[in-house]
Amino acid sequence: MPRGLVVALEDLPVTTLDCSIRHDGNKHTTIFIQDECLKHRFIRSRDTSGIVERPERLRAVKVGLAAAISRIEEADDTRKPRAQSRVGASGVSADSVENELAAALERMDLAPASSQLRTSSVSTRRACTTIELLKNSAVKYVHGDIDGNVYLQNLISWARDSRENIMKKGSEIPEGIPPLDLYLCPSSIDAIQGAIGAVQEAVDAVISSTRQFSSIKPNEACERAFVAIRPPGHHCGEDTPSGFCFVNNIAIGAAHAHLNHGIQRIVILDIDLHHGNGTQSIAWQINEETYRQTLESEVSPGDVPPTKPGPRIYYGSLHDVLSFPCEDGKVEMVQAASTSIHGPHGQYIENIHLQSYNSDAHFWGVLYPQYYLSLLHRAREFLDKTGGPGDDVMIFISCGFDACEHEYPSMSRHNRKVPVSFFHRFTRETCVLADTYAGGRVVSVLEGGYSDRALTSGAMAHLCGLADIPGRDVVLDDWVNEDWWNMDNLVQLEKSTKPRKASSRHSLTTNSEAWLSRTVELLPVLDVDPKAPLSSTRGIGVPPTSRKLRERTKPSSSTNNSRTGTPDPVSTMHKSGSGGIKPSVKNTSSPSPSITDINTTLVFDYMNRESSQPAPEEGDPSTSNGTGKKLPRVILHVRPPPDTAG
């Protein structure tokens, strides 16, 4: 976010709402779904076996969310006190009249009963907000630059011309940008804009729900939100796409909260396996500008009204410093991923490195309380230093599940992991922080996580951490049983929800547990909207090529050299090994595609096809469940794989 743009945006009207927080006990959680995110697909080659950031990730997340809802419904039902009958003067039970009326209204609902959530704690919403990259003020606040919207315009053109560039050059990603961890297709912009719209819609709903005298309808209120979107965002800087990320979703959400709702203090907690170098860079720039504005306002003449400073951001990250973007040991990346600064120069940054653990007792008795919770302790210090609890505070979670114990070994190769229950307990601790300082406001946005089992188990535990059961102690949270996501239950869940052909149905045995049956019922509620079928995509049989890093320079007339700012080295994420993407090698299993082959449409049947990346069985990390198919090995090096060198 360049200084020139900030000055221009200072004149924008900031929406003023009632600035008193509403406190009313248990908090409601809404899951935001965006089907447009399925349109971002890899088309550089017809072989997608090495692509880990894939549309099917969202289905794995939804399986976990459906399982969590089924468990929440069970807990909610068992905790509801039996209502006392109220008998009126006529001797007719008032409750019986209310029940009859409720039953009549339920019969009028055209939706199937199985699709109705049986809990007041959680709801689902298909995001309907649409944005345009070049017209959205929050997007330009984060990704605009001094000379205009150069990066955003380039991004749109890269996607629009992706097929043509693949045919001509072998890659849709321009020179100077690592091509092996990034891809685009013509409909990628729809997915990116849809993802941003979903985040902004969640921010609007959460803030409106926590404001006194809000006009939001009670059945639409939510103090907490989980936004299931892709592609992820936390590696993307102001104009540097990287690590599957093209725009920074969480930073744009924070900017939207500031520009449209007057949020001045923002906490971003990043729990992805990889350091969110893009988010930290953006937060640093915003804090730097706010600090400058604050100093200038303190020395401004008495007759000149001080400029209202911008937002202040605390960014805290828990990550593996041995993994991308630090795996090559580049000094700039490692230093950034190890920064800890709290106050000087207006900066509030905390980075904590994941460590290996040898037992649950070691993790929960040593690592979690003594090291990892420091992320939240520093957030409290930031909020206390800057004014304490207030209506100008908002909490965001950059929620990646790739640190999960069930992530692919090829993605998490340094044994820096967390147990599934981390995503429940850390989320619950974050909600307590939000209840204390921010009126309960929490917006969690999906980042990484690539194996189905990591995504499913992590999403399940995370939603259980966000949800409140009416009448239960928020802090004790004693309604959650962490055995819900043990290995036996996860295997049962995977078998019950495995995608099948359209002609077949999910077959659950008569003695299947109720939560599994209910999960299968709920999954269509969360999965692809049948009214919005996926568009077809073409796979073009042109292998990617290796690219060199380019320095960021002043924009010129050339599209490929139109980026600005301080040099920000970006490592390349190579996907190689069995089934992976390799630079320019001949396909020995089939002949090169003809023009007819290239023009053939590849239809990805998201609803019915088997997941291309099934989770490995326990104890067999190198193969998929029962198929013998090798998992992709993800190599994060700027040099090409050995078999292509020379």
Cβ–Cβ under 8 Å, residues 320 and 328: no
Three-class HEC string of 136-166? CHHHHHHHCECCECHHHHHHHHHHHCHHHHH
Calculate mean pLDDT across residues 220-225. 91
Give me the half-sphere count of Cα atoms (radius 13 Å) on the Cβ side of residue 591: 5
**Residue 231 near residue 244 (C-beta atoms within 8 A):** yes
Predicted local distance difference test score (pLDDT) of residue 555? 42
Q: Is pLDDT above 60 for 82? A: no
User: Which pLDDT belongs to residue 542?
Assistant: 44
Residue 627 burial class via C-beta count within 10 angstroms: exposed 0-12, middle 13-18, buried 19 and up: exposed
Give which of 501, 502, 505, 399 is closest to 454, Cα–Cα: 399
CA dihedral 438, 443, 447, 453 (to 10 degrees): 110
Place of tokens 């971002």: 40
Beta bridge partners of 499: none
Mean pLDDT is lowest, of 446-460, 494-508, 607-621, for 607-621
What is the rounded distance in angstroms from the CA atom of residue 464 to the CA atom of residue 368?
A: 19
Rounded mean pLDDT of 117-146? 93
| Residue 473, C-beta contacts closer than 8 angstroms, at least 6 positions apart | none
187: pLDDT strictly greater than 90 = yes
Q: What is the pLDDT of residues 3-31, one digit of tens each?
A: 334 333 333 333 333 334 444 568 999 99
Distance CA 423, CA 466 (A): 10
What was the pLDDT predicted at 607? 33
Name residue 269's amino acid.
L
Q: Looking at residue 616, what is its pLDDT?
A: 42
pLDDT > 70: percent of the chain: 68
Collapse the DSSP code of 133 into the 3-class scheme (helix H, G, I; strand E, B; otherwise coil) and give the result.
coil
Give pLDDT tens digits for 558-595.
333 333 333 333 333 333 332 333 333 333 333 333 33
The residues, any chain, with a CB within 8 Å of residue 14's CB and separated by 6 or more, are 258, 259, 260, 262
103-112, 163-172, 499-508, 606-615: which has the highest mean pLDDT? 163-172
447-479: buried (b, 16+ CB within 10 Å) or exposed (e) per residue?
bbbbbbbbbbbbbbbbbbbbbbbeebeeeebeb
CA-wise closest residue to 314 among 352, 273, 286: 286
Task: Examine the pLDDT at 205 and tell me if it is beyond 90.
Answer: yes
Rounded to whole angstroms, how far apart are CA atoms 71 and 490? 13
> Contact 223/210 with Cβ under 8 angstroms?
yes
Average pLDDT, the chain: 79
Please determine, for residue 635, whether its predicted confidence score (pLDDT) is greater than 70: no
Judged by DSSP in three states, 30 sits in strand
pLDDT score recorded for residue 307: 76
CA–CA distances in Å: residue 59 to residues 474, 520, 614: 29, 13, 12
Mean pLDDT of 373-392: 98
pLDDT at 65 exceeding the cut of 90: yes
Task: Give the 3-state secondary structure of residue 442.
Answer: strand
pTM, 2 dp:
0.77
Q: What positions carry a catalytic annotation? A: 235
Residue 564 has what pLDDT?
Answer: 35
Each residue of 259-311: pLDDT tens digit? Answer: 999 999 999 999 999 999 999 999 999 999 999 999 988 877 766 676 788 99
> Hunting for tokens 């685009």 — which residue is that?
184
- Checking if the pLDDT of 213 tops 80, the result is no
- pLDDT tens digits along 86-99: 334 444 444 555 55
Task: Note the Cα 351 to chain centre separation in Å.
Answer: 19
DSSP, residue by residue, 324-354? TTSTT--HHHHHHTT-EEESGGG-EEEEEE-
> Bigger pLDDT: 530 or 251?
251
What the chain holds in terms of domains, given with CATH numbers, is 3-78+120-526 (3.40.800.20)
Residue 294 near residue 286, CB atoms below 8 Å:
no
Angle subtended at Cα 340 by Cα 338 and Cα 341, rounded to the nearest 5 degrees: 145
Residue 413 pLDDT exceeds 50: yes
Task: Tell me the C-alpha distance between 396 and 235, whole Å.
Answer: 16
Please state the rounded mean pLDDT for residues 373-394: 98
Helices (H), ranges, 185-330: 188-209, 249-261, 277-298
* Separation CA 187–CA 531 (nearest Å): 18
Task: Compute φ and ψ for 288, nearest 5 degrees.
Answer: -60, -45
Percent pLDDT > 90 in the chain is 60
Q: Parallel, antiparallel, or unpaired: how do β-strands 224-228 and 29-33 relate?
A: parallel
Residue 504 pLDDT: 52
Rounded Cα distance between 220 and 84, Å, is 28
Q: Distance (Å, rounded) from C-alpha 394 to C-alpha 385?
A: 15
